[in-house]
C-alpha cells in the first residue's frame, strides 16, 4: 500500500488519477481531496505507480 501526495482540486482530478492507474491494472485507489492524498493498494512497484500518476500532469510525490 502506497500513499502519494497529489495536487487535486476536484473530483475530476481524483478521477483522472484513478483512470490512469486503472490502465495499468490498479483499481484499489482511495482519494482524500481535503488532504490531497491518494492511497493506492497494488502489487505494482511504487516507481511504476508514481510514473503513471505523473502522466496526469499534476504535481505528485511519494509519501511512504
- Angstrom distance (rounded) from CA 41 to CA 62: 13
Fold (topology level) of 2-62: Alpha-Beta Plaits (3.30.70)
Instruction: Return the pLDDT at 64.
Output: 86
Q: What DSSP letter does each residue of the chain carry, written as one string?
A: -EEEEE---SHHHHHHHHHHHHHTT--EEEEETTTTEEEEE-SS-HHHHHHHHHTTSS-EEE--
- Reported for 45-50, long-range contacts at CB under 8 A and 24+ positions apart, including other chains, are 46/2, 48/24, 49/2, 49/4, 49/21, 49/24, 50/4
Task: Delimit the domains of the chain by residue range.
Answer: 2-62
What are 3-59's pLDDT values in tens digits?
A: 999 999 999 999 999 999 999 999 999 999 999 999 999 999 999 999 999 999 999
Instruction: Return the pLDDT at 28.
Output: 97
Assess whether pLDDT exceeds 90 at residue 1. Answer: yes
Instruction: Return the pLDDT at 23.
Output: 97
Assess whether pLDDT exceeds 90 at residue 61. Answer: yes
Amino acid at each position: 500500500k502506497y500513499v502519494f501526495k497529489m495536487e487535486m482540486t476536484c473530483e475530476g482530478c481524483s478521477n483522472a488519477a484513478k483512470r490512469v492507474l486503472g490502465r495499468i491494472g490498479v483499481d484499489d485507489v482511495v482519494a482524500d481531496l481535503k488532504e490531497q492524498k491518494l492511497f493506492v493498494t497494488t502489487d505494482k512497484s511504487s516507481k511504476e505507480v508514481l510514473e503513471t500518476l505523473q502522466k496526469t500532469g499534476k504535481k505528485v510525490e511519494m509519501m511512504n
